[in-house]
Amino acid sequence: MSEQPQFTVKIDQNKYLPEGGREVHAIVSVEAGAEGGAMPAPAGTRASEVIIIDTSGSMSYPDTKLRAAVAAAQVAIDTLRDGVEFAVISGSNTASMVYPRHGGLVTASPQTKDKAKRALSGLRASGGTAIGSWLRLADELFDDVQGGIRHAILLTDGKNQHETPEELDAVLFRCGGRFVCDCRGVGTDWEVAELRKISSALLGSVDIVADPAGLVADFQAMTEAAMGKSVADVALRVWTPQTARLRFVKQVMPSVEDLTGKRVESAPQAGDYPLGAWGAESRDYHICVEVPPGEIGKELRAAWVKLVVPGAPGEEAQVLATGNVLAQWTDDEAQSTRINPRVAHYTGQAELAVAIQEGLQARKDGDFDTATARLGRAVVLADEAGNDAITAMLRKVVDVVDPATGTVRLKRHVEKADEMALDTRSSKTVRTRKDETLTTPRPGER
């Protein structure tokens, strides 16, 4: 495992609680990188890739959409490392194999890549949209893969109209933890909430590609990122004392994602939270633990955090790194009221995502007072966090009168693509520009 990155865990918190205090917050920063230098390309890491292209009838309007999707999938195939197992799926009312035709995965080589690209050239658009069936076929393909990185790309341009929400939910429940899926919506006729639900369940990303011309670069970037992963199925294992209650575990960097409901019990008083596959990168997690009040001066381990990968059947999980979340009661008001800046920053980023999503939904529902209030709050939070990208997108939806107070006016005419871009990217976070220790890029960050 010489290509496996070295993992470190760093805990940021103010451990001091006032007399009677119960709530402990901490930011768990996980970093993976090569010891003493850059990561080598994980050429020896087993990996599999499934590319799912929407070929429903709407993909023919305009006709550039399907052509761009085919070109993007072809570039993604070219980006695969030789030796990676892959397949391509066409999705409409049902899912069908584009390459290989007989089903299963094939090993990437110059010959198989060329055959796959030629098969893609024959795609035609017809039928409806049943995304659950597409994911079910991808899951069946991954069934043949024992371990390694398992990644899918899903592209659609429409709503999931040809199966029930319950059918899609059942497929997502089955697929959760089995592979990671990055979702992309092309154009503006798809539902952000629908793709966000899929990407959240499958630990992937969601984004809009409003102009089909942008698909090639986006597919190439997603595939390159997948090829850079070298450790699969990483989990955050959190132990808490018997008298404590773990209130939530959230990813807060590079995006806000609530992992609380994904807990899998792993040992007495411990649960695992899936983090997906890792390469050379860093991510931050917000943990909140409720503990019983202690005596002044008493120190307690509120949580013991481990980064783990599962072992073979019958074997213990491999521990990659560990860290402690502490609580200590004090009568020093200055100590107990100091808010850790990283905790404060990411709490604001999580609130920002909610404010944007609630504001956009209220605008869609015609509740303009609520929309104005929530999007005004989002302007304040984005400004405080130094999230310039979100601030720029908010200004396409509202006229900002005063960013400090959140005084805004809803724009009368908003491009649908701008509204959807703000929605999809609302949960993307930044490290604050106000604290130099948080803005210094770490190895592997972009």
> What is the four-CA torsion angle of 14, 18, 24, 28, rounded to 10 degrees?
0
pTM across the whole model: 0.93
Q: Tens digits of per-residue pLDDT, 300-356?
A: 999 999 999 988 778 899 999 999 999 999 999 999 999 999 999 999 999 999 999
Phi, psi angles (nearest 5°) of residue 19: -55, 125
Residue 406's nearest CA partner among 422, 428, 383, 430 is 383
Give residue 198's pLDDT.
98
* Tokens at 168, concatenated: 């899609």
- What single DSSP character describes residue 58? G
Q: Tens digits of per-residue pLDDT, 137-191?
A: 999 999 988 789 999 999 999 999 999 999 999 999 999 999 999 999 999 999 9
Using DSSP's 3-state secondary structure scheme, residue 32 falls into: strand
Neighbours of 40 (CB within 10 A): 13
Residue 155's nearest CA partner among 99, 38, 247, 76 is 76
Q: What is the mean pLDDT of residues 360-387?
A: 97
* Distance, CA of 10 to CA of 53 (rounded, Å): 40
Residue type, 88: V
Q: What is the mean pLDDT of residues 418-446?
A: 67
Find the length of the chain: 446
Phi, psi angles (nearest 5°) of residue 211: -100, 120
Res 2 pLDDT > 70: no
Residue 372's nearest CA partner among 346, 353, 400, 351 is 400
Res 287 pLDDT > 80: yes
- What single DSSP character describes residue 406? T
95 against 64, higher pLDDT: 95
- H helices, E strands: number in the chain: 12, 20
What strands lie across the sheet with 245-253, from one edge to the other?
A: 6-12, 23-33, 281-290, 245-253, 257-258
Give residue 3's pLDDT.
59
Give residue 441's pLDDT.
37
* Tokens at 82, concatenated: 């030789």
Q: Label the pairing between strands 16-17 and 318-329.
A: parallel
- What single DSSP character describes residue 194? H
Res 436 pLDDT > 90: no
Beta strands (DSSP E) in 60-164 are 85-91, 95-99, 106-107, 149-156
Work out the pLDDT band at 43, boundaries 50, 70, 90: low
Locus of tokens 């899998």: 264
Using DSSP's 3-state secondary structure scheme, residue 426 falls into: coil
Q: What is the mean pLDDT of residues 7-12?
A: 97
219 against 4, higher pLDDT: 219
